[in-house]
Amino acid sequence: MTTNAIEHALLAVIAAADDDGASAHAHISRAQQYARATARRERQIVEIAALVIAGDTERAAGLALEHTAQFPDDSELLSRISVTSAPKQRPRSGSST
């Protein structure tokens, strides 16, 4: 079975939500490679997923909003890659309280 860029992006977000950073980065890297030769729609979805994984939720939300305006049929897909799927933020060690 061949996996496309969007499927790898979804797998990356799922892995990140499960605290599996290595798998998340491997999947998003594959998604970015596959997306290079695809339409702008797929490239944007992969970029949104990459931003979510990187923890840049503001940029991800902004790009998702723009993407949904251009591609309204993707709203359900983008809800799967939403900022609520972002990896859990851990408190920094060594901080004093």
> Is there a domain that residue 92 lies in?
no
pLDDT, tens digit only, all 97 positions of the chain: 567 999 999 999 999 999 999 999 999 999 999 999 889 999 999 999 999 999 998 999 999 999 999 999 999 989 888 755 555 544 334 444 4
The total of structural domains in the chain comes to: 1
Tell me, what's the pLDDT at 24? 96
pTM above 0.85, yes or no: no
> Is there a domain that residue 97 lies in?
no
Q: With helix as H, strand as E and coil as C, how does the chain read? A: CCCCHHHHHHHHHHHHHCCCHHHHHHHHHHHHHHHCCCCHHHHHHHHHHHHHHHCCHHHHHHHHHHHHHHCHHHHHHHHHCCHHHCCCCCCCCCCCC
Tell me, what's the pLDDT at 5? 95
Tell me, what's the pLDDT at 1? 52
> Is there a domain that residue 60 lies in?
yes
